[in-house]
Structure formats: C-alpha cells, structure tokens
A and B are shown apart, each in its own frame.
Chain A
Amino acid sequence: METLAPWVLIALLLAGWEIACRALHVAPYLLPPPSQVAAALIANLATLLSAAWRTLAVAIVALIIASLIAQALAMLVALSSILDRAIRPLASVIQVTPVVAIAPLFLIWAGIDHPERALVALAVVVAFFPIFSGAVAGLKSADPDLERLFALYGASRWQTVTRLRLPSAVPFLLEGHKVGAGLAIIGAVVAEFGAGSGGVRGLAWQILDAGNKLQTDRMIAALAALGVMGVALHGLLARAELAGLRWWRGR
C-alpha cells in the first residue's frame, strides 16, 4: 500500500491533467494532454534514448574524472595543513560558481570541434565538490582512540593513512559519490543548455530544439525522459551505497 502511494498520486495528477486539457480546450502548444505527450514519447523513442545516453555518457565520464581529482586533492589536504589552507578556499570558489556562468568560457577553450569536452569539464566542476569535501571529512573521521593505538604501536605516517584513514573514509566517499553523480547529470544538462545547438545532442538539446519548434509534446516527453533517468540513477546509486556500506561493516 505504502509503495503504491506515489504511483496513485501520479496517476491522479495525469488523469486531472488529461481531463483539464480536454474540458478547457487548452491549445496543444501551451500544454498538450498526457496522451499526446505519450504519443510523442513513443514516436521519438529512439531519438530520446540516444539523446539520454549522450547526456548520461557525459555525466559518467565527468564523474570518473571528478572522483580521481577530488580524491587526490583530498589526500594532499589531509596530509598537509599548508596544502589544506591553500586548496580549500579554491575548492569553495569552484563550489559557489554557477555552471552557466563559466560555460561560455569552457566552450571557447574546448573549441567549436569538441563541445563535448567543455560539457564534461563543466560537469566535472559540479561533481567535484561533494566528493572532495566527503573525502576530506572522511580522511579526518578516524576514531581518535584507534589513532592513539596506531601511535602506541609506532605506526608510520604511511601505515596510518593506508590502514586507518583511508578505510575510515569509505562511508564518506560512498556518500560523496552518490551526491556527486546526481550533480554530474545536472551539470551535464545545464552545460548542454549553455552550449546550445552547437553542443552534444543530448536531452537538453532535445528540449531546446523542441521548444524552438513549439513542439511542446516532444519537449515534455524529453523532460519525462530526463526525470526517469535521474530517478533511475539515484536509485541505483543509493543501492550501491548501501551495498558498499554493508561490505565495509560486514553486514
């Protein structure tokens, strides 16, 4: 019953939307009824799927790059207080800068032939921060009594990092990657909007293109595809995080 609740609400909202559109004779370019959106979705399914895959591919590549950079920097920050002071403010600047604001610059750098590089770079910028801050917090999260034991047994700095701090950071890294992956998708979509028609023809481009042609039904279909992709990815990552935590804790 509880698991059905959101589906019932969605069905009710769709039914209300359909009835309202038909009863009030709303112009289809303003708001098409869900049945028309569904038809557009089926008609454009192949295009939408390949567009979704392009957006997703940008996000995945960005997530991998962001993960590597963020973890490497977090190690430096955790090991040296001077580097901590140097790197942290810059990381915050990256966090507060809106992607749309830097998108034009990145597109110029990437050049007209390789807009996908700019998209990946922009998504990296967005996905970087949660992974970085999670890794920094995680590397400092070790049980202080375990740190004392390591000191008591004369552990080297290297042993303390590899055998205590890194494993202690695992739950924080899992959480950081879950949040970072969601942001990578958002970053990829926003960057596509910034790139406009010259960009990778992903879901954002589908939305822009449909809007330019006043094909509102195709636009909403693309939005729905984006929503489904986001929910599916989030569910997948939440499960991955849970599985990772189980493995880490042994149950």
Chain B
Amino acid sequence: MSVAALRAVEVDYARGPALGPFSLEIEAGEIVSLVGPSGCGKSTALRLLAGLEAPSRGQVLRTPGRGETAVVFQAPTLAPWLSARANVALPLELAGTARAAAGVRAREALARVGLAGAEAARPAQLSGGMAMRVSLARALVTEPRLMLLDEPFAALDEITRRALADDVLRLWAGLRPAIVFVTHNVEEAVYMASRVVVMTAGPGRLAGDFPVEGPAPRPAGFRTTPGFRRSVEAVSHALARGMAEGARP
C-alpha cells in the first residue's frame, strides 16, 4: 500500500526548473533513501511529499491525515524558549491534546530517544546530537505514518551520526512508519534504507532505484559485508552517471 507518491512532478522556481519530471512511490513501512548531488531538488521532493509545497506540474498523492506526517530538518529547529519536553509536546498541543497528556507522551518520546532526564533542558544547553534527538522525539511523538528526514545528521560528527542512524532504525522497528531519508552520503543512504533512489543533478530526475538486502535494524559489522559494499558501489556508480547526465546541456 502506498503512503505517498510523486507522479511526474516538476517544480519551477523563479531562478529556473528545480525538479523533475520525477516520480517516486513510497510504500507503507519502508525506508527509502534519496541521494543526489547538491541542488538536485531532494529537499524540494521532500517538501512535496510533506504537502508543504505544491508542484508546478504533475501530481502528489498523500494518504496520511493531519498530524500523521513528520519532518526532521538538517538543523534541530527547536524553539529556544521552550524546554526539550515542551518542544516535543508542541505538535500534540497544536492538534488540541491537553497540556498534561501531551507532556506525558513527550516524556515517553524523549525516553525512547535516550533523553530521559533532559526534559527540562533548553535547546541552548544541549549538544548538537542531543538537540537532534529532541527533534527526532518531536517527530515520533505523533506516531506518524510518514517520516521525512532532510539530511538530519549532516551537521553532526561521524560517531554521533552513526549512533543516531542506529537509533532511527531501532525506533522505526517499533512504529514502522514509512521513512524518506534525504542525504548526500552514499554509505549512510545504503545503511539506512531498504531502497535507495538516486537522482540526477538539478533539475533532478530518476538516475537509479536500488533495493538493499539485509535485516533492519542493522547488525554490528553490517558496513563490512559484501552485500553492503556491492550496494554502495552500485549507488556510487549511478550517482556519478547522474551527475554527468545533469551536467550535459
């Protein structure tokens, strides 16, 4: 069953075409990585899937209702005047959940991302990795059917990003939302997803669609298995070809 789909969408901005024609089908519960060179329209595709933007041409199909889509941005995007718990409770409160009930669920969501005890901290008191965990907790608290992650680990160091990648997969195993994970890091794309979609240079079109074998969450040492290396090679190859194709006039 499809959760969201882009059908031959094109997006034009004032400075020229930004995306497409591009098609993408997201099935319920699957994790799709979206990779492509900078400026290929990955984030634009994500905003279309979120319903935050409308395409210039083509069709966007979405089944999740209000509050069933969550977005995590590259920056944690937390309100500095709110505690971690109040930030996480915000989506529930905006949807009309009573403050006390929202607070309880926010506390649970923070515990799930490993931040039990940090409820009262303000964003300025948190490290980059912790702030990103708060952002993840805020996305999870509404129990979404579709999670859209826009290069969420790009600003973090390698150790933190690997730990967070495993956290996302572990959390996914609980709720099984469909996840679209935008990144420009090929290894991360393969590690996270059951399917990697490669885009050409902007305006982005499809350059390849690769299934990734292996269990999720990933077992220790998964990055050294031959299957993982083969997928990384295939995706890298498609990415290079897509960049060359986009560069042609």
Chain A residues engaging chain B, CB cutoff 8 angstroms: 143, 145-146, 148-155, 159, 163-164, 167, 170, 248-251
Q: Is the CB of B122 within 8 A of A152?
A: no
**Closest CB-CB distance, A214 to chain B, in whole Å?**
56
Number of A-B contacts (CB under 8 A): 58
A148's contact among B52, B80, B124, by CB below 8 Å, is which? B52
A145's contact among B51, B73, B82, B121, by CB below 8 Å, is which? B73
For the complex, what is the distance from the CA of A145 to the CA of B47, rounded to whole Å? 11
A248's contact among B52, B66, B80, B90, by CB below 8 Å, is which? B80
Q: Is the CB of A153 within 8 A of B95?
A: yes
Chain B residues engaging chain A, CB cutoff 8 angstroms: 47, 50-52, 66-67, 69-71, 73, 75, 77, 79-83, 90-91, 94-95, 121-125, 142
**6 closest cross-chain pairs (CB), A and B:** A250-B122, A145-B77, A154-B66, A153-B94, A155-B94, A153-B91
Q: Given A148-B52, A251-B124, check contact A163 B94 (CB 8 Å).
A: yes
Q: Is the CB of B124 within 8 A of A153?
A: no
29 residue pairs of the A-B complex, CB under 8 angstroms, read A143-B77, A145-B75, A146-B77, A148-B71, A149-B71, A152-B50, A152-B69, A152-B71, A153-B66, A153-B67, A153-B90, A153-B94, A153-B95, A154-B67, A154-B95, A159-B94, A163-B94, A164-B79, A167-B79, A170-B81, A248-B80, A249-B81, A250-B80, A250-B81, A250-B83, A250-B121, A250-B124, A251-B122, A251-B125
B80's contact among A150, A155, A163, A249, by CB below 8 Å, is which? A249
Q: Which residues of B contact A155 (CB under 8 A)?
A: 94
Q: Which residues of A contact B142 (CB under 8 A)?
A: 153
Q: Which residue of A lies closest to B47 (CB)?
A: A148
For the complex, what is the distance from the CA of A250 to the CA of B95, rounded to whole Å? 26
**Closest CB-CB distance, A175 to chain B, in whole Å?**
16
Q: Is the CB of A248 within 8 A of B91?
A: no
Q: Which residue of B lies closest to A166 (CB)?
A: B81
Q: Given A148-B52, A151-B52, A251-B124, check contact A167 B81 (CB 8 Å).
A: yes
**Closest CB-CB distance, A188 to chain B, in whole Å?**
33
Q: Which residues of B contact A250 (CB under 8 A)?
A: 80-81, 83, 121-125
- Do most interface residues of chain B lie in helix, strand or loop, or is the interface mixed? loop
Q: Which residue of B lies closest to A144 (CB)?
A: B77
**Which of the listed residues B69, B83, B94, B122 has the most CB atoms from chain A within 10 Å of its own CB?**
B94
Q: Which residues of A contact B121 (CB under 8 A)?
A: 250
Q: Which residues of B contact A150 (CB under 8 A)?
A: 94
Q: Which residues of B contact A248 (CB under 8 A)?
A: 80-81
Q: Is the CB of A152 within 8 A of B79?
A: no
**Which of the listed residues A150, A151, A154, A170 has the most CB atoms from chain B within 10 Å of its own CB?**
A154
For the complex, what is the distance from the CA of A146 to the CA of B90, rounded to whole Å? 11
**Closest CB-CB distance, B202 to chain A, in whole Å?**
21
For the complex, what is the distance from the CA of A150 to the CA of B50, rounded to whole Å? 12
Q: Is the CB of A152 within 8 A of B52?
A: yes
For the complex, what is the distance from the CA of A155 to the CA of B71, rounded to whole Å? 15
**Closest CB-CB distance, B186 to chain A, in whole Å?**
26
Q: Is the CB of B94 within 8 A of A154?
A: yes
Q: Which residues of A contact B122 (CB under 8 A)?
A: 249-251
Q: Which residue of A lies closest to B84 (CB)?
A: A250
For the complex, what is the distance from the CA of A249 to the CA of B123, rounded to whole Å? 8
For the complex, what is the distance from the CA of A163 to the CA of B51, rounded to whole Å? 22
**Closest CB-CB distance, A167 to chain B, in whole Å?**
5
**Closest CB-CB distance, A94 to chain B, in whole Å?**
31
**Closest CB-CB distance, A195 to chain B, in whole Å?**
43
For the complex, what is the distance from the CA of A249 to the CA of B50, rounded to whole Å? 30
Q: Which residue of B lies closest to A164 (CB)?
A: B79
Q: Which residue of A lies closest to B52 (CB)?
A: A148
For the complex, what is the distance from the CA of A163 to the CA of B77, rounded to whole Å? 15
Q: Which residue of A lies closest to B126 (CB)?
A: A250
Q: Which residue of A lies closest to B121 (CB)?
A: A250
For the complex, what is the distance from the CA of A163 to the CA of B90, rounded to whole Å? 9
Q: Which residues of B contact A152 (CB under 8 A)?
A: 50-52, 69-71
For the complex, what is the distance from the CA of A251 to the CA of B80, rounded to whole Å? 10
Q: Apart from A249-B81, A249-B122, A250-B125, list 9 A-B contacts with CB within 8 A.
A: A145-B73, A146-B79, A149-B71, A150-B94, A152-B50, A152-B69, A153-B95, A154-B95, A251-B124
**Closest CB-CB distance, A25 to chain B, in whole Å?**
62
**Closest CB-CB distance, A121 to chain B, in whole Å?**
34
**Closest CB-CB distance, B26 to chain A, in whole Å?**
16
For the complex, what is the distance from the CA of A251 to the CA of B95, rounded to whole Å? 30
For the complex, what is the distance from the CA of A167 to the CA of B79, rounded to whole Å? 9
Q: Which residue of A lies closest to B123 (CB)?
A: A250
Q: Which residues of B contact A145 (CB under 8 A)?
A: 73, 75, 77
